[in-house]
């Protein structure tokens, strides 16, 4: 590596927020979830910590006193909160008397949003960072390395280093009528509906009518206009939804307080009200790179009362209407969920990269990924035949 040096630090506080965020801003696919403030809030709030199975490490590449590349890496003792599922791999290791955990994961905890993971000044620095990651995994005697939901440049660097690739499918909405061909956004929500096939348009109108007839209305707040009471109410909804599914919430109330304090511009909150009382909420993240298009990310939701179709209204129709009115280029709906296609969120392939230290298991996983990749390709073809839009 000549005059390049890899350094691994345990705390993000050892790295300059300005320098980290400058590396991120220069990437082709930045997201607010890789900002220094976001990652620091995850750790400082106790949300992603050794106690919860996420031991942070930050792998950095230096040339002299200049930071050339960096990424978050986590020593994981489980596979929860990743959204790229490798439980079968862990079970296979266990059945053969081998330890799969701890493993290394380059990802944003609890956040299945595609984007840049390897922040680097140039392609060479990114390639050296990947080499440094693999060397660090060998040095720490880790079973494996997993880079999740990487950007195109990340995947290219991982491919060059010999990592194996794995595809998953997400569903994203784009603010442009497919038939227009000129990339212009929808004029309004009705214009968006008009681009859909009759049955999909009818279904959306029926679902929205049910919510309105139940006496539910919505208001939204952005950034510092989100009050402390609204943050408190949102967290009640968020935590209740997790507990209803038998799980404690991943994120603490302190995490969201830190977001309100350090990254307010990245958040958009919808609150559903009935008879003057808040009954549900959804929290949307927004891109913060002023030089790029406005992108919205569906993140969290919860409800204190049950209303038919309220989830669809809070998590899709209200955010989509806001995106259209404010010129957002894209709304990413998160991991999984074919039902999102009925709301015009279309399938998008996302990619992760994997390295396994054990040669025989690496060979077996590579064969598995070849078969799985064919299945993903067929699945994407199948989904493509079910477009909700009018036939061209």
pLDDT 10s digits, 320-347: 999 999 999 999 987 778 889 999 999 9
Which has more pLDDT, 290 or 364?
364
pLDDT at 287 over 70: yes
Q: Give pLDDT, residue 391.
A: 80
Length of the chain: 392
Strand, helix or coil for residue 338: helix
Q: Which residues of 153-183 are buried (b: 16+ CB within 10 A; e: fewer)?
A: bbbbbbeebebbbbbbbbbbbbbbbeeeeee
Chain segment 111-144, per-residue pLDDT in tens: 999 999 999 999 999 999 999 999 999 999 999 9
The 8 Å CB, 24+ separation contacts for 46-55 are 46/252, 46/254, 47/109, 47/110, 47/250, 47/251, 47/252, 47/254, 47/255, 48/74, 48/81, 48/109, 48/110, 52/250, 53/77, 53/78, 53/80, 54/81, 54/109, 55/102
Q: Give pLDDT, residue 291.
A: 83
Give the confidence band of 13 by pLDDT, cuts at 50, 70, 90: very high
Give the confidence band of 182 by pLDDT, cuts at 50, 70, 90: low
Chain segment 220-241, per-residue pLDDT in tens: 999 999 999 999 999 999 999 9
Q: In the structure encoding, which two tokens stand for residue 159, read together?
A: 């491919």
Whole-structure pTM value: 0.95
What are 119's strand-pairing partners? 70
Question: What's the whole-number mean pLDDT along residues 21-38?
Answer: 96
Chain segment 142-152, per-residue pLDDT in tens: 999 999 999 99
pLDDT at 181 over 60: no
Question: What's the whole-number mean pLDDT along residues 180-184?
Answer: 57
User: In whole angstroms, what is the distance from residue 21 CA to residue 32 CA?
Assistant: 10
User: In whole angstroms, what is the distance from residue 354 CA to residue 348 CA?
Assistant: 20
């Amino acid at each position: 590596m000549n005059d390049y040096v890899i350094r691994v630090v345990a705390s993000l506080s050892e790295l300059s927020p300005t320098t980290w965020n400058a590396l991120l801003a220069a990437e082709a696919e930045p997201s607010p979830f890789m900002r220094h403030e976001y990652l620091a809030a995850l750790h400082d709030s106790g949300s992603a910590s050794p106690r919860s199975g996420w031991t942070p490490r930050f792998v950095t590449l230096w040339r002299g006193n200049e930071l050339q590349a960096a990424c978050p890496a986590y020593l994981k003792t489980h596979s929860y909160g990743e959204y790229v599922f490798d439980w079968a791999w862990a079970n296979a290791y266990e059945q053969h008397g081998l330890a799969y955990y701890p493993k290394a994961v380059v990802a944003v905890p609890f956040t299945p949003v595609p984007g840049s993971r390897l922040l680097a000044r140039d392609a060479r620095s990114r390639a050296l960072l990947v080499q440094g990651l693999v060397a660090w995994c060998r040095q720490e005697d880790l079973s494996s390395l997993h880079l999740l939901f990487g950007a195109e440049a990340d995947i290219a660097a991982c491919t060059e280093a010999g990592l194996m690739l794995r595809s998953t499918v997400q569903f994203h909405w784009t603010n442009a009528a497919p038939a227009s061909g000129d990339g212009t956004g929808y004029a309004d929500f009705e214009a968006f509906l008009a681009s859909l096939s009759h049955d999909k348009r009818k279904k959306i109108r029926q679902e929205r009518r049910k919510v309105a007839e139940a006496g539910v209305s919505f208001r939204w707040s952005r950034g510092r206009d989100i009050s402390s009471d609204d943050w408190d109410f949102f967290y009640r909804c968020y935590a209740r939804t997790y507990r209803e599914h038998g799980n404690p919430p991943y994120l603490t109330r302190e995490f969201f307080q830190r977001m309100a304090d350090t990254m307010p511009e990245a958040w958009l909150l919808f609150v559903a009200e009935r008879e003057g009382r808040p009954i549900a909420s959804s929290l949307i993240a927004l891109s913060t790179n002023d030089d790029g298009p406005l992108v919205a990310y569906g993140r969290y939701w919860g409800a204190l009362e049950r209303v038919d179709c309220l989830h669809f209204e809070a998590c899709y129709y209200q955010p989509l209407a806001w995106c259209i009115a404010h010129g957002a280029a894209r709304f990413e709906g998160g991991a999984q969920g074919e039902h999102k296609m009925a709301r015009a969120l279309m399938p998008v392939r996302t990619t992760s990269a994997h390295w396994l230290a054990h040669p025989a298991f690496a060979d077996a996983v590579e064969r598995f990924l070849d078969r799985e990749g064919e299945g993903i390709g067929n699945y994407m073809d199948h989904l493509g035949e079910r477009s909700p839009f009018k036939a061209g």
